[in-house]
Structure formats: C-alpha cells, structure tokens
Amino acid sequence: MNQTANVAVQSAWYSKINWTQAVAAVVTFATAIISAANLPAVQATELTAAVAGIGQLLTVVLRTFFTSTVTPSSAPK
C-alpha cells in the first residue's frame, strides 16, 4: 500500500516543543543553583523537581493539544 500525505512542515527552530524544553532546562538548572544556595537541601530538591515537572507537563500539553505540524526530520522520506 503506497499512500502520500501532504502535511505542513516547519523548521525545528519554530517548534514549541523544542523551545519549551530548552527554556525548562535553563530554568531548572537556574532553580537548582539558586535554591541550593538559599534553601535547605530538601526544599531545594523539591523546588527543582517541581520546576522540572512543570516543564515536562507543559511539553505534553503542547504536543497533545497544540501541535498541528511536523518537522522535516519527522516526516517520512
């Protein structure tokens, strides 16, 4: 069975998922550094885990409900 589909394709630079993960990684790292210097270890760990979890949850929501295009690398060749 040979099927052809026309889909909207955009550069990976415009990907909400990529940008969400990049920002989440930077914010998580900054939270870990800042909170480790200012909070007890348990609270710093909990805050860092919460920030990381929010970034991951946001990625799932964006991918599931707000993504309608594909990147060139994910389209079949």
Angle between helices 41-65 and 16-38 (to 10 degrees): 170
The DSSP 8-state label assigned to residue 75 in this structure reads S
Cβ atoms within 10 Å, residue 29: 13
* Per-residue model confidence (pLDDT) at position 19: 94
Tell me what pLDDT residue 55 has. 95
Which pTM does this prediction carry? 0.73
**Helix, strand and coil in the chain, % to nearest 5:** 70, 5, 25
Residue with tokens 């909400």: 16
